[in-house]
Amino acid sequence: MIELQDVTHGYGASPLLAGVSLSLAPGSFHFLTGPSGAGKTTLIKLCYGELIAGQGRVSLFGQDAATMSRDDIALARRRIGVVHQDCQFIDHLTVAENVALPVVVSGRPTRQIEKDLDDLLGWVGLSAHRSALPPELSGGERQRAALARAVIMSPEVILADEPTGNIDWEMSLRLLTLLVELNRMGKTVLIATHDLNLIRQAKKQVAARVLRIANRQLLAAGAEL
């Protein structure tokens, strides 16, 4: 589905990532760890075509990202749901309108997804907040709204960049449960996180592969996790 082969990428003279290879197979679950600044966000951006590798090859659903047109990249991104670290919303739109925005941008009639939208907001526990504006939401509610927006188009791959970084433990577990449920539905999931306790909790529920960026390399994490 998404594959990196011997990828090197960086900003300036020194590469941030060097010789990185990764394969996100259908239905797999991955955690990505590493210190701040190690390149976790950069790797995620490579996985959905926001960045193009300086060296090596990134394949998105069998196509070389370096040779894909902007339209090809846009079509591939419809198959990838991204939960960004900063959870940006349009503040004058309601929660429901923000979640439905990818459908609007794709050109599909929104009236066709009203029931799906209701079901999705119920699934993430935001039915009572569908008419609220983003500034009225707590941190955990914003993260769940971001997850709902990421999956509204029924993507095959979910990429989540530090989705629990700014919320409490109870809400982190709730968000993790939603991501595990998506994986059990057959979705491929990659979560970048600093939270080793979250990883340990997840490994009780799902066969998760844990990867770590260290010294510009992508390595399998130790058994102590």
Reported as a pLDDT band with limits 50, 70 and 90, residue 149 is: very high
Q: Which helix (H) or strand (E) holds 103?
A: helix 95-106
Higher pLDDT pick, 100 / 87: 100
Tell me the pTM.
0.92
CATH of residue 219's domain is 3.40.50.300
Same domain membership, residue 67 and residue 178: yes
Same domain membership, residue 170 and residue 75: yes
For residue 162, CA distances in Å to 17, 76, 144 come to 19, 22, 13
Q: φ and ψ at 89, to 5 degrees?
A: -130, 165
Angle between the 139-151 and 169-184 helix axes, to the nearest 10 degrees? 10
Report DSSP letters for 54-94, one per residue.
SEEEEEETTEEGGG--HHHHHHHHTTEEEE-TT----TTS-
CB contact at 8 A, 157 and 1: yes
Same domain membership, residue 71 and residue 55: yes
Same domain membership, residue 136 and residue 176: no
Q: Who contacts 23 (Cβ-Cβ below 8 Å, separation ≥6)?
A: 2, 3, 4
Domain ranges, residue 164: 1-79+155-225
Same domain membership, residue 165 and residue 73: yes
Gap between the Cα atoms of 172 and 198, Å rounded: 8
Mean pLDDT is lowest, of 25-29, 57-61, 116-120, 156-160, for 116-120
Encoding tokens for residue 25? 């197979």
Same domain membership, residue 144 and residue 91: yes
The number of distinct structural domains making up the chain is 2
Gap between the Cα atoms of 87 and 155, Å rounded: 18
Work out the mean pLDDT of the chain and round it to a whole number.
Answer: 91
Same domain membership, residue 216 and residue 169: yes
Region 170-174: mean pLDDT is: 90
Same domain membership, residue 199 and residue 168: yes
Same domain membership, residue 195 and residue 166: yes
Reported as a pLDDT band with limits 50, 70 and 90, residue 225 is: very low
Residue 46's identity, in one-letter code, is: L
Same domain membership, residue 159 and residue 146: no
